[in-house]
Structure 1
Amino acid sequence: MSVPSSDLLFNRDFGAWTEVVESVAAQLAATAAQRDRQGGTALEQRRLLRESGLLTLLVPKEFGGQGEVWPLILRIVRRLAAADSSIAHLFAFQHLQVATVLLFGTPEQQHSLLTKTVEKRWFWGNATNDRDVRLLFENTASGHQLVGPRFFCSGSVDAEGLIVNVPHPAIDGARLFLAVPADRHGVRIGGDWDAFGQRQTDSGSVQFEGTPVEPADRLGWPTDQPPLPRLPRHSLRSCLAQAILTEIYLGNTEGALEAAREHLTQRARPWPGTGADSATQDSTIQLRFGEHWIAYRGARRIADHAALSLQHAWARGDALTAPERAAVALEMAEARVASAQAGLAITSGLFDQMGANATAGGLALDRYWRNIRVHSLHDPLDLKRQALGKWLLRGEAPQPSGFS
């Protein structure tokens, strides 16, 4: 019996997109370790994504996109994260910004912004952060302006547009989303991201220095008429963000498992006294790999089911109910906790099987753990566990927020 291939183990069939996805993944993987050490903006890799056609998968066909579904897009995020977690992050957040336009924009805004996204190969940056309240949405004599800093702005460098959120002036407790050109007067992109993981996501700061906001920038509220009330479907954005985090954890876990199998097959030596002729014949290593696989597979099954539920909710549109939305949020909480727990344990524990020579700096095999560790802190996993416990013990559904 032959050793199972990675394609078989990790379900790398993406239908009509398989060849493109695998080509992009191979090119990213070839330089991922080197670029992880360098940090900075991955301009060449961003160009690769622009030219691949993958940035417009979610854009509806009437705007020139492919109109693909979330389970496929999320599995592609996972595949790219196995090759290069930072670029997968940028790819995934592109789709989160497109989703924001689809969730909040008027039909006219959707047509204008998404047609340009396709035709001009736009990259979108993320400048939404519910916890960073320093950014002000101020009235001016001629309209509104943005003043202040915003941090954790993934993909802001080399972006054509930024999705920004601020407290909604006309809807209590809601957020107003803005689509602001990145070259607009007063936008200063910091390029100051310096975490020990996700090192090429450009997730640093953007400073808004009296940046004018045009009425057309205000998604869903381009006039001074009262905005329409928010529906449950609008709060799917945070569920999408949680799904993206989940897939980046799983992709890093896949990448680590692949790298460990290769290392044990080609470089590692059996430990004296085990009686094994090779590292792959060591019964203890086999046992631990089996444990890692079970943890990974369990998390993957939960994530795949949650992605299907997310797609069903997305397709419901305005008909989505609050209880249906809450059910999706609970599944996303399960998926994120399970994938983070499994990923952190596996990407660290594999070194026990690979041995000391796997810690060589040139291999950068620690990057899988570093990437998950940084991304897992996006919002507290304990709050996800608590939300699940509250539902199990009291029947209380999670309330929509920027993180749940």
Structure 2
Amino acid sequence: MTLSQVNTENAVKAVPAVPRPIEPAHVIKDDAEAIVVARRLAAEFVKESAKRDRERIWPVAELDAFSQSGLWSINVPKAFGGPEVSYATLAKVIEIISAADSSIGQIAQNHLGVVAAVRTVSDPEQQKLLFAEVLKGTRFGNAFSEFGSKRAVDFETRFTDAGDHVVVNGRKFYSSGALLAHLVPIVALDDEGRAWYAIAERDAPGLTVIDDWSSFGQRTTLSGTVLLDNVKVPKTHLVPGYRGYEVPTADGAIFQIIQVAVDTGIAQAAIDETVAFVRTKSRAWADSGQDHAWEDPYTIQAVGDLTLRLHAAQALLEKAGYAIDRAVLNPNAETVAEAQIVTAEAKVLSTEIAIAATNKLFELAGTRSTLAEHNLDRHWRNARTHTLHDPVRWKYAILGRYFLNGENPPLHAWS
């Protein structure tokens, strides 16, 4: 009996924590190895991705392979024993994984974002402690967003000081990765209204994770509700996340670029599926005068257009990664704004191509492509769900204000 079967029978029951890995995780040596490892894992993840989506099977083994591969520590600084790859490489890794299974690609997003935040805001002692956990293979989940607040940046979850630890109370939703995490960073406010990451043990008393994620897309991101009832978190694991947004830092752009990479991965998967289906299963249209669907001039034009638009999004994604690298090394208003702006541009294009490619798949592949046995609709469902993470219409506003009026983007995790 799998974990998912147990939990879907009674979703109100708490999901038990998973143990930490017995063996230490591999440590990636450089950017080139990160890409090689990502492609190797993707080749395995794609094999059962349609089945996992259809039956909502949790990617337990896949997630263990992913985090143990060393790809979850690729932005740990070299000073602490990590590979510290370029954010262009990190984004490419997430894109490769997401093309195989976008839910698995998204699960790593908040983990990598928290690792970046620790680099930005933690003191050396805390960095040493938490980076050592990450290098061993410990996975961070997340308990950030809340369901009933007026805006995404508003939080009601709070903690109180209790000496050598704090006590957290609240309720969270959209907690991607929390079910199979080892540690759960909780965004909680102090008595001054400042947001911290209170990083709790997944099996801490009072921390309950419920598998109630019911979206039609990104079905196995292991999101859902996290209940926090007097959860104790040692102060060694209390990270002052608010500092990453008091002054210009790359923290927001880092969270965003990973979202972009998930979407370009979905678009790549949809285009690959389109080509494969048209080449092997689709029939030529009656009026085309052709013997094969792949000879249809309109199909040829459409695939060329989709590929061009994907390549444009990927080019901006890579450019954004290098801009983030510069902002990490030299954070100031100018470098951070550049990283945010290029990332916003990439977010616009990646959203548009993810939705276009997943929709066009069915038009070009034909009616047969809608059969349940292929489950190709998962790509559209995933694209439509994931691109809602933050509204692209506001990215246009950010770009216009910057280029027209010289106004830098706001500093928060969605910018």
TM-score w.r.t. length of structure 1: 0.88
**AA of the residue aligned to 1:100:** A
**Cα displacement (A) at 1:73:** 1.1
Moved over 6 A (4+): none
* Matching residue of 2:294: 280
- 8 Å contact 2:98–2:106 — kept in the other structure? yes
How do residues 188-207 of structure 1 correspond to structure 2 at under 5 angstroms? 188-207=208-227
- 8 Å contact 1:390–1:396 — kept in the other structure? yes
Summarize the Cα distance change of 1:139–1:356 in structure 2 as closer, same or farther, 3 Å threshold: same
3-state SS of paired residue (1:145): strand
Which shifted more, 123-132 or 280-289? Answer: 123-132
**Cα displacement (A) at 1:132:** 5.7
3-state SS of paired residue (1:123): coil
3-state SS of paired residue (1:124): coil
**AA of the residue aligned to 2:62:** Q
Q: How far apart in 2 are the matches of 1:55 and 1:76?
A: 10
Summarize the Cα distance change of 1:391–1:18 in structure 2 as closer, same or farther, 3 Å threshold: closer
Q: Deviations over 1:286-313 (max 9, x none)?
A: 1111221222122222222111111111
Matched, 1:109 2:129: no
Matched, 1:383 2:401: no
**Cα displacement (A) at 1:18:** 4.1
Summarize the Cα distance change of 1:334–1:168 in structure 2 as closer, same or farther, 3 Å threshold: farther
- 8 Å contact 2:248–2:332 — kept in the other structure? yes
**Cα displacement (A) at 1:230:** 4.2
Which of 73, 84, 95 lines up with 2:112 in the alignment? 95
Q: Deviations over 1:8-35 (max 9, x none)?
A: xxxxx96223442222101100000000
Matched, 1:329 2:305: no
Which shifted more, 258-267 or 50-59? Answer: 50-59
Matched, 1:264 2:278: yes
* Matching residue of 1:344: 355
Matched, 1:128 2:148: no
3-state SS of paired residue (1:329): helix
Q: How far apart in 1 are the matches of 2:293 and 2:73?
A: 44
* Matching residue of 2:88: 71
Q: Deviations over 1:53-110 (max 9, x none)?
A: 2222122344343222211111010011110001111233321121122222211111
* Matching residue of 1:35: 52
**AA of the residue aligned to 1:388:** L
Matched, 1:47 2:64: yes
Q: How far apart in 1 are the matches of 2:75 and 2:356?
A: 32
- 8 Å contact 2:160–2:190 — kept in the other structure? no
* Matching residue of 1:306: 320
**Cα displacement (A) at 1:143:** 5.5
* Matching residue of 1:224: none
**AA of the residue aligned to 2:213:** W
**AA of the residue aligned to 1:251:** G
Q: Deviations over 1:236-289 (max 9, x none)?
A: 222111111111110000011111111111111111121111111111111111
Which of 373, 379, 382 lines up with 2:384 in the alignment? 373
3-state SS of paired residue (2:284): coil
3-state SS of paired residue (1:17): helix
Q: How far apart in 1 are the matches of 2:84 and 2:212?
A: 34
- 8 Å contact 1:40–1:202 — kept in the other structure? no
- Structure 2: gaps of 5 or more residues: 1-29, 146-151
Q: How far apart in 1 are the matches of 2:189 and 2:316?
A: 34
**Cα displacement (A) at 1:396:** 1.6
TM-score w.r.t. length of structure 2: 0.86
Matched, 1:156 2:178: yes
**AA of the residue aligned to 1:177:** Y
Which of 398, 401, 404 lines up with 2:412 in the alignment? 401
- 8 Å contact 1:132–1:150 — kept in the other structure? no
- 8 Å contact 2:160–2:191 — kept in the other structure? no
* Matching residue of 2:205: 185
Q: How far apart in 2 are the matches of 1:228 and 1:335?
A: 22
Matched, 1:392 2:414: no
Q: How far apart in 1 are the matches of 2:219 and 2:133?
A: 29
Which of 303, 315, 321 lines up with 1:289 in the alignment? 303
Q: How far apart in 1 are the matches of 2:157 and 2:246?
A: 23
Matched, 1:358 2:369: yes
3-state SS of paired residue (1:126): coil
**Aligned residue pairs: how many?**
379
Q: How far apart in 1 are the matches of 2:370 and 2:31?
A: 33
Summarize the Cα distance change of 1:57–1:356 in structure 2 as closer, same or farther, 3 Å threshold: same
Q: Deviations over 1:343-390 (max 9, x none)?
A: 111210121111000111121212122111111111221111111122
Summarize the Cα distance change of 1:72–1:54 in structure 2 as closer, same or farther, 3 Å threshold: same
Q: How far apart in 2 are the matches of 1:168 and 1:329?
A: 28
* Matching residue of 2:6: none
- 8 Å contact 1:59–1:65 — kept in the other structure? yes
3-state SS of paired residue (1:125): coil
Q: How far apart in 1 are the matches of 2:77 and 2:163?
A: 37
Summarize the Cα distance change of 1:393–1:17 in structure 2 as closer, same or farther, 3 Å threshold: closer
- 8 Å contact 1:106–1:219 — kept in the other structure? no
- 8 Å contact 1:147–1:211 — kept in the other structure? yes
- Measured on the aligned residues, the alpha-carbon RMSD in Å equals 2.2
